Amino acid sequence: MKKTAALLLAALTALSLSGCGGQSAPTTAPETEATTAAETESETAAQAEDAIGEKPTVRVGSLNGPTSMGLVYTMQKADNGESGNYYEFHMATAADEITGLLVKGELDIALIPANVASVLYNKTEGNITVIDINTLGVLYVVSSDESIQSMADLKGKTVYLTGMGTTPDYVMQYLLKANGLTTDDVKLEYKTEAAEVAAILKETPDAVGMLPQPFVTAAMAQNDQLRMVLDLTAEWNKVQEQAGGSTLVTGVTVARTDFLKAEPEAVTTFLYEHEESALAVTENLDEASQLVADLGIIEKAPVAKKAIPYCNITCLTGEEMKAALSGYLQVLYDQDPSSVGGNLPGDDFYYIP
């Protein structure tokens, strides 16, 4: 902004000086002087306009799912040239791809899993700062078995889920333990991808699976017998009412700390536009669903429309963000310190404007 202001001041000064020049003695070619003055004024005005319109370029990475869904209106504004920053967006299906680009300095801002942000903070010795929470809980237990109405009802059953040692696994094991159950009571069978769990649920309707949105909605679209029998965000909240009040957090938005220090106003602009976009997605389901489908985040707009209300898309910042995220990371740390990178992040992990 200081650079922009200086350029604008220079431009306005030049305009002023060209106006003063008109008071000097006339030359023998008044028409030529008038033409030259007009050309100079036009060029100076163009320079002033360029100075006013100068915007930084921000490279943003996100995952193909709820985190990207909350960005679709920012993406649309950028495509239309209406955003406050110039943006280069990069969507990926795997967190490793995004984090690799971030660590190499090829992304400035990234939307990644909450615990991964803490791991990167430790790995980069503090060169990762969380600027907002973009997604709260998106995990659900899905089955056609209507007898499942609480975590206790999972006793004696097999639950299919993805990723041993990943966030869904930590959440499930935490909730089982909090409800007096162990993996001896509930068999956890791990699959590589959510699509594998969905396939099992399609073939065996009374099977029990734990899935994130939007895979839950996609699985239910393939089999009308399936139901969301447990909302794990609600189950987490029941436990935390007694244990400290932390929030189940899925995705956060981080900036490289060196970028944040170099371009604080660009980050502020992004936060404003991200919050605006997240709110618009939840308030304009028909339009947002079509944008989500057009960007290939979810294949079909009707499925996106059903999934969005259950994706808990948000944009929490400041102290509210810190309270929710620090409590969540504490729960993960207590289970397994390696899940957050070995140590809980310091206060500098949280961006408080």
Instruction: Give the domains, in start order, of the chain with CATH numbers.
Output: 57-136+248-349 (3.40.190.10), 139-243 (3.40.190.10)
User: Contact, 88 vs 119, CB < 8 A?
Assistant: no
pLDDT tens for 265-293 read 999 999 999 999 999 999 999 999 999 99
Look at residue 117 and tell me whether its pLDDT is greater than 50: yes
What does the alpha-carbon distance between residue 167 and residue 138 come to, in Å, rounded to a whole number? Answer: 11
3-state secondary structure of 309: helix
**DSSP label at 235?**
H
Residue 45: the pLDDT is 40
> Which amino acid is it at 200?
I
Reported pTM:
0.81
What does the alpha-carbon distance between residue 266 and residue 343 come to, in Å, rounded to a whole number? Answer: 30
As a whole number, the mean pLDDT across the chain is 86
Q: Residue holding tokens 């400290």?
A: 244
pLDDT tens for 170-196 read 999 999 999 999 999 999 999 988 889
Provide CB contacts within 8 A for 309, sequence distance 6+: 282, 285
3-state secondary structure of 188: strand
CA 308 to chain centre: 14
3-state secondary structure of 133: strand
What does the alpha-carbon distance between residue 261 and residue 208 come to, in Å, rounded to a whole number? Answer: 47
Name the token pair of 36.
């030259």
What does the alpha-carbon distance between residue 290 and residue 301 come to, in Å, rounded to a whole number? Answer: 5
